[in-house]
Structure 1
Amino acid sequence: MNYPMETTETGLPRAHGGPVCQGILKARPEDFQVAEHMHVTPEGQGEHLWLEIEKTGWNTEDVAMLLAKQARVHRLSVGYSGLKDKHAVTRQWFSLHLPGKDDPDFHWPDGLTVLQSGRHRRKLNRGTHRANDFCLRVTRFVGDRDALEQQLQMIIAQGVPNYFGEQRFGRGSGNLVRGTEWLLGGEAPRKKALRGMWLSAVRSNLFNLILAERVRQGCWNTVLGGDILQPQGSRGLFLADDDPAAMERVANGEVHPTAPLPGVPGMASSGPCNQLEQQILAPHAPVIEGLRQIKVEEARRATRLPVRDLQWVWHTDPEREGEDCLELAFTLPTGAFATTVMAELVSSPAD
């Protein structure tokens, strides 16, 4: 079957005119720093040991495996809230279920440092933290500072399209390719974890395609007739047509338009919104039918990503005297991608 494979984040339309400068993001791990913004902290007692760990050069799952091995517990006894990049300096929480056991005597390899620990009554589950704080450095900057700062001000005021980042699709978009082949009748994943990653990649790509069209039409951050809206900071959904103040609420950032993550049909858009979605999804009907056959439930995701507490500063690159360096700090909700923000601002020299 000649199925129309699509690009992922690369090449997607940008909302604020596209990058006006070039630079390198993540030249070194310390150029990309992430810390979980937790709303739950250990209580000081319980069967679960919580650890905040700073890691460099480690992915989240490898740290979980190390903790399980050293604590002599099953891997499923280790919990974490979210996945973090390997090639970065990241701070995240893990938990270990240790009923009736003392805290293990850990031996930490290079790249791992414990920042704090404490006991808690419950396991740390996926999605427990609500946001991530980012501190990023763009080195070898070339471009117009004033133009870039105008874009930064636009992002503060309007946010950015809430695309899924390239990390979601795997190296070389491998998860997207394999997931698509599976849903079209190919080989199923052998591991449960792969199943989730492949399905996520496929659905994320379909969402990106719809959002890309809304960006092209200039309606990624405005109401379309028949839209389904989502309040800021909530997973709830409601019909825009049921709220006379919908346009005003979207304009002031109180609520956001949404687009589907396809699967078994759920709450349906209507009118112009539904027409746009069906037009983009029509070529992908065989894959969507595959999602429905394995009972994946449709969900919706906001098309707009607010970027909170955005700040920036210019200075000289510490390793390249005389060259400009841009540092940015901002906060994003869980499930959002810092690379999506940066793609509105800076392109790499290879792009």
Structure 2
Amino acid sequence: MTDPQYTTLPQWPNAYPASGASATLKFLNEDFIVTELPLQLPAGEGEHIWLDIEKNGANTAFVAQQLADAAGVTERDVGYAGLKDRHAITRQWFSIYLPKGETPDLTQLVHPEFKVLSQSRHVKKLRPGDLLGNRFRIVLRDVAGDRDAIEANLKAVAAAGVPNYFGAQRFGFDGGNVEQGRAMLAREIRVRNPKKKGIYLSAVRSFVFNEVLALRIQQGLWGQTLPGDVMDEAGRPTGPLWGRGRVSTTDQAQALENGVAERNATLCNGMEHAGLDQDRRALVACPQGLAWEWPQADQLVLSFALPAGNYATSVLNEILRTTEPERHTESEPVVLE
């Protein structure tokens, strides 16, 4: 069996009935506020400067480059826990490796798209994934549709969570990173840039996970535990992050996962040969403290927190359909949380 071409992403199914409602997302940057929940706070001493930064209209990589220039270091000396949205107001931590010399006061740095709220020293560099999660405040404008249906889905999400899909930003513009990853793993193209190679591997791994989760929902298995499932620490069933070794599920769960792998043989075989190891990810994402209000008839405000690696778009997709202004449709860096 040969793999399909991955030129467009499939429309993965929802867990709950569609509300039929729609809204505008990120009409203004302040409509999407993200606050990083740090894994730890700086200790006050060490070879790295940690910076608490609020950015508005800038992506994380751009801010990292600006910090490197201001501190007189290379960009690889700047660390952060995760990439955050550009068209938003986001608060996150950065680190700069500066073991010697005077400590520059970067709180005095002036830039129209970000500001340094505080700085302190710490013993280690921030690396991708070094965060507990993120807290969101999202304003949805031009809400149209059945308010009762929206409320019903909000209550369902609050009670039982949402499918823990990887978000569209994981897959690049129009899902192009998955097809590039397939071509790379099939040796149709050669990718020399390690960063690009990592992005493509991340995209195809996430795609296979989403396919497993989608199949469970299509088969009416949302919210159910299958014979042979591997559970996480919270007691939730998990899906495969593909790599070397056998899947750790058994029975019905293993059969379902192996079936998806067979249909995506180039991706799964390629990931094994690329050196990735088998891992697991929860199939359910549970937004914490989900609350909502209607300040106006056509405006809905949501607030909630998600653990690291979970996507706010997965929450929104279960409530209503959102569209963003055209200025937001350019390709953004993949989110590596």
- With the length of structure 1 as denominator, give the TM-score of the two structures: 0.87
Map Cα deviations across residues 30-61 of structure 1 (whole Å, 9 max, x no partner).
Answer: 11111101241112222211101111221111
- SS of equivalent residue, structure 2 residue 220: coil
Match of 1:147 in 2: 149
How far 1:210 moved relative to its partner? 0.7
Question: Aligned-pair distance for 1:348?
Answer: 3.3
CA shift in 2, pair 1:86/1:305, >3 Å: same
Unpaired segments ≥5 residues, structure 1? 233-254, 317-322
For residue 340 of structure 1, what is the aligned residue in structure 2?
A: 314
**For 2:205 and 2:19, how far apart are their aligned partners in 1?**
27
* Residues 62 and 190 (structure 1), Cα distance of their counterparts in 2 relative to 1, 3 Å cut: farther
Distance (whole Å) between structure 1 residues aligned to residue 100 and residue 152 of structure 2 = 57
Inter-CA distance 196–19: structure 2 relative to 1 (3 Å threshold): farther
Displaced runs of 4+ in structure 1, greater than 4 A?
6-10
Q: Distance in 2 between matches of 1:336 and 1:306?
A: 9
Q: What SS class does the counterpart of residue 220 from structure 1 fall into?
A: coil
Pick the aligned partner of 1:307 from 282, 287, 291: 287
Q: Identity of counterpart residues, as a percentage?
A: 40
Match of 1:296 in 2: 276
**What corresponds to 1:158 in structure 2?**
160
Q: Map 1:90-109; keep pairs closer than 5 Å.
A: 90-106=90-106, 107-109=109-111
Gaps of 5+ in 2: 325-337
Q: What TM-score do you get using the length of structure 2 for normalisation? A: 0.90
Q: Is the 8 A contact 2:60 2:86 kept in 1?
A: yes
1:166 deviates by 0.1
Q: Distance in 2 between matches of 1:271 and 1:40?
A: 40
- Report deviation, 1:267: 4.6
Count of aligned positions:
322
1:186–1:35: structure 2 CA closer, same or farther, 3 Å change rule?
same
User: Do 1:221 and 1:303's aligned partners in 2 also have CA atoms closer than 8 Å?
Assistant: no
Matches within 5 A, 1:306-325: 306-316=286-296, 324-325=298-299
Number of the residue aligned with 2:58: 58
Tell me if structure 1 keeps the 8 A contact 2:182–2:266: no
2:240 to 235, 243, 260: 260
CA contact (8 A) 1:34 1:90 kept: yes
Distance 1:44 1:37 in 2: 19
8 Å CA contact retained: 1:227, 1:270 = yes
In the alignment, the residues of structure 2 paired with residue 141 and residue 102 of structure 1 have an alpha-carbon distance, to the nearest angstrom, of 52
Partners of 2:250 and 2:14 in 1: CA distance? 26
Q: Within 1, Cα distance between the matches of 2:67 and 2:16?
A: 44
Q: Is 1:172 paired with 2:167?
A: no
What residue is the counterpart of 1:238 in the other structure?
A: none
